[in-house]
């Protein structure tokens, strides 16, 4: 069979990325230009700044992606691009570049759901992994438990009712003065903290729902910090981080294991920026082992936003003939499974 080469483009948040992926699993290049340092001083992503930076970077990043892969535009079989969910101005930059290239080169365009991309990062990392499996997608914008029935068929089994897991990490990090993005900083600080020092709440819904809620946990952390400050007592940032992280990881892992049991699958996977969290990985490894489940997760660079995962997801849409026309628009609130 002829090799299928996909150019992937991602610009939904604060990473401008272009990648070339062969047959959905083999990464020939994955160029990621992060804007983290630009947004750091504001403590979060500023949409307008993100869009402007994407405009500057998108074509150089695409050219670098091709160059590093040793591929010319003619050798591409299709262009895969994130069209939602995400920041509308940011999405539009990658999407407009993808549409312009598709039109100029007369190549098929494949619109990709960002979460579908995160899930597909696992196909790159694990060449043998095939659906069905359950996957926890936890990032700055999402916390979803997804049943991946097939490469292009998804069922959301649970999701956050308020803050996303990554958002909670970022907000707590800011509150304890660690900076942005909070996830990796909390992960690091927690390593020397005591996870049992403070009993933060774990929200489990009584109706058996696999949904999450992190806003109560975030408030509990803020209340703890305020109380300590009012009493003039010192607190340990490391203990707060470790106790907060353990509370998040407990519910994420318990609900994912429950989802696998409901679906009768023995495969569980992680995806999204929070999947880079070291406690989440080790806890899930333990829980998966004790249930006899296989556990899959991508390496950190494939967990956070990148275009290789978008190209991988685009491949599975493309081989099923699912391409998009040039009227494809950015959909900031795109739901998984919608086209």
Per DSSP, 31 falls in state E
Residue 30 binds which entry of Zn ion, ligand KG4, none, with Cβ cut-offs from 5 to 8 Å by kind? Answer: none
Q: Which of 84, 108, 117, 166 binds ligand KG4 (CB under 6 A)?
A: 166
Q: Which of 84, 111, 158, 181 binds ligand KG4 (CB under 6 A)?
A: 181
Choose the binding region for ligand KG4 from 36-44, 151-159, 257-265, 266-274 (rule: CB under 6 A): 266-274
| Residue burial 16-51, b: 16+ Cβ < 10 Å; e: rest | bbbbbbbebbebbbbbbbebeeebeeeebbbbebbb
Q: What's the closest the beta carbon of residue 325 comes to ligand KG4, in angstroms?
A: 26
Q: What's the closest the beta carbon of residue 230 comes to ligand KG4, in angstroms?
A: 28
What are the DSSP E strand ranges found in the chain? 5-10, 15-22, 26-34, 78-84, 109-113, 133-138, 143-150, 153-159, 267-271, 294-296
182-190 and 237-263 helices, crossing angle to 10°: 110
Q: Which of 272, 284, 302, 316 binds ligand KG4 (CB under 6 A)?
A: 272
Alpha-carbon distances of 57 from 11, 15, 79, 305, rounded to whole Å: 10, 10, 18, 15
- In the bound state with ligand KG4, the residue whose beta carbon lies nearer, of 131 and 140, is 140
Give the C-alpha separation, 322 to 333, whole Å.
Answer: 21
- Contact between 169 and ligand KG4 by CB under 6 A: the answer reads yes
Closest CA to 97 of 55, 156, 151: 55
Residue 85, preceding peptide bond in cis (omega within 30° of 0): yes
Residue 181 binds which entry of ligand KG4, Zn ion, none, with Cβ cut-offs from 5 to 8 Å by kind? Answer: ligand KG4
By CB under 6 A, what part of segment 277-316 binds ligand KG4? Answer: 277, 304-305
Alpha-carbon distances of 110 from 9, 19, 113, rounded to whole Å: 10, 14, 10
Grouping H, G, I as helix, E, B as strand and the rest as coil, residue 21 is: strand
- Whether the CB-CB separation of 222 and 168 falls below 8 Å is answered with no
Q: What's the closest the beta carbon of residue 137 comes to ligand KG4, in angstroms?
A: 8
Q: Which of 182, 239, 297, 308 binds ligand KG4 (CB under 6 A)?
A: 182
Grouping H, G, I as helix, E, B as strand and the rest as coil, residue 236 is: coil
- Whether the CB-CB separation of 200 and 220 falls below 8 Å is answered with yes
Q: Which of 116, 125, 163, 305 binds Zn ion (CB under 5 A)?
A: 305
- Contact between 211 and ligand KG4 by CB under 6 A: the answer reads no
Per DSSP, 83 falls in state E
Pairing of β 26-34 and β 15-22:
antiparallel
Q: Which of 125, 170, 211, 239 binds ligand KG4 (CB under 6 A)?
A: 170
Choose the binding region for ligand KG4 from 52-60, 126-134, 138-146, 226-234 (rule: CB under 6 A): 138-146
Q: Which of 8, 84, 94, 141 binds ligand KG4 (CB under 6 A)?
A: 141
- Contact between 29 and Zn ion by CB under 5 A: the answer reads no
- In the bound state with Zn ion, the residue whose beta carbon lies nearer, of 10 and 238, is 10
106 Cβ neighbours under 8 A, 6+ residues apart? none
Choose the binding region for Zn ion from 20-28, 136-144, 212-220, 285-293 (rule: CB under 5 A): 136-144
- Within 10 angstroms of residue 10's Cβ, the number of other Cβ atoms is 30
Choose the binding region for ligand KG4 from 1-9, 176-184, 256-264, 317-325 (rule: CB under 6 A): 176-184
Q: What's the closest the beta carbon of residue 94 comes to Zn ion, in angstroms?
A: 13
Q: What's the closest the beta carbon of residue 272 comes to ligand KG4, in angstroms?
A: 5
Judged by the rule CB under 6 A, the positions of this chain that interact with ligand KG4 are: 13, 139-141, 166, 169-170, 181-184, 187, 272-274, 276-277, 304-305
Judged by the rule CB under 5 A, the positions of this chain that interact with Zn ion are: 139, 305
């Amino acid at each position: 069979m002829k090799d299928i080469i996909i150019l992937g483009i991602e610009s939904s948040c604060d990473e401008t990325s272009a990648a070339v992926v062969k047959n959905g699993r083999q990464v020939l290049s994955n160029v990621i230009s992060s804007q983290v340092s630009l947004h750091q001083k504001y403590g979060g992503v500023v949409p307008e700044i993100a869009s402007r930076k994407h405009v500057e970077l998108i074509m150089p990043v695409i050219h670098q992606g091709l160059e590093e892969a040793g591929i010319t535009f003619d050798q591409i079989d299709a262009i895969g691009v994130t069209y939602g969910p995400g920041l509308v101005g940011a999405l539009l930059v990658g999407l407009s570049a993808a549409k312009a290239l598709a039109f100029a080169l007369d190549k098929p365009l494949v619109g990709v759901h960002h979460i579908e991309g995160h899930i597909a990062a696992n196909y790159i990392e694990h060449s043998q992994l095939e659906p069905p499996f359950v996957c926890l997608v936890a990032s700055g914008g999402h916390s979803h438990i997804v049943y991946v029935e097939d490469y292009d068929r998804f069922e959301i089994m649970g999701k956050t009712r308020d803050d996303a897991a990554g958002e909670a990490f970022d907000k707590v990090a800011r509150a304890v003065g660690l900076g942005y993005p909070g996830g990796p900083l909390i992960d690091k600080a927690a390593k020397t903290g005591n996870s049992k020092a403070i009993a933060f709440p774990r929200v489990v819904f009584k109706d058996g729902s696999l949904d999450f809620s992190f806003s109560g946990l975030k408030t509990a952390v803020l209340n703890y910090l305020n109380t300590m400050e009012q009493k003039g007592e010192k607190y340990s940032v490391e203990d707060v981080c470790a106790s907060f992280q353990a509370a998040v990881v407990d519910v994420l892992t318990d609900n994912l294991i429950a989802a696998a049991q409901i679906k009768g699958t023995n495969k569980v996977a992680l995806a999204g920026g929070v999947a880079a969290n070291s406690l989440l990985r080790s806890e899930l490894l333990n829980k998966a082992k004790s249930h006899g489940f296989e556990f899959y997760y991508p390496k950190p660079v494939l967990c956070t936003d990148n275009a290789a995962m978008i190209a991988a997801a685009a491949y599975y849409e493309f081989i099923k003939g699912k391409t998009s026309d040039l009227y494809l628009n950015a959909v900031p609130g795109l739901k998984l499974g919608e086209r």
